[in-house]
Amino acid sequence: MKILVLNGPNLGRLGTRQPDVYGRTTYAELVKLCQDVEPEADVRQTDDEATMIGWLHEAADTGTPVVINPGAWSHYSYALRDAAALAPVVIEVHLSQTAAREEFRHHSVISAVARATITGMGVDGYRAALRHLVGATG
Ligand code: DQA
């Protein structure tokens, strides 16, 4: 089934970005492991907030479920939250355990409009989110 897997700022640098925090899996490997779970997963990354909001509008218009790692936008972007609220279903994923990190990472403005939030499971969080969506609606 078609699922949008949307990644926010700096996640294109996975593999080399703070590997002690985010792991050694590269962004290209993340794309592959998502498609291993669901071949129709459409995995995207952007550092541009307007582009991300456009993708969430696309999910709303096409009725496509979303897995999203909003990166730092999670902590302050009300515009992203409002766009996420339009999508049929959203699962929020964070590679790191945000609750155990700096105070500003403890709150996500996206979580209130997400069906679930998965934190601290590394790339396994994406697998779990995709399996849930495929099992729940596919
Ligand atoms: C992140 C956590 C955010 O606080 C951070 O800004 C990121 C990645 C994660 O996957 O753990 O960019 O969303």
Report the chain's mean pLDDT, rounded to a whole number: 96
What pTM, to 2 d.p., does this model score?
0.96
Per-residue pLDDT tens digits for 78-128 = 999 999 999 999 999 999 999 999 999 999 999 999 999 999 999 999 999
Helices (H), the chain: 19-22, 27-37, 49-62, 78-84, 124-137
**pLDDT single digits (tens) 40-51:** 999 999 999 999
| CA proximity to 111, closest of 88, 132, 77, 81 | 81
Residue written as tokens 């939250």?
81
pLDDT at 31 over 70: yes
The per-residue pLDDT for 138 is: 43
45 CB less than 6 Å from ligand 1?
Answer: no
pLDDT, tens digit, 9 for 90 and up, residues 72-81 = 999 999 999 9
What's the 71 CA to ligand 1 centre distance in angstroms? 4
11 C-alpha to center of ligand 1: Å? 8
**pLDDT value for 136:** 65
Cα–Cα distance for residue pair 92/74, rounded to 1 Å: 9
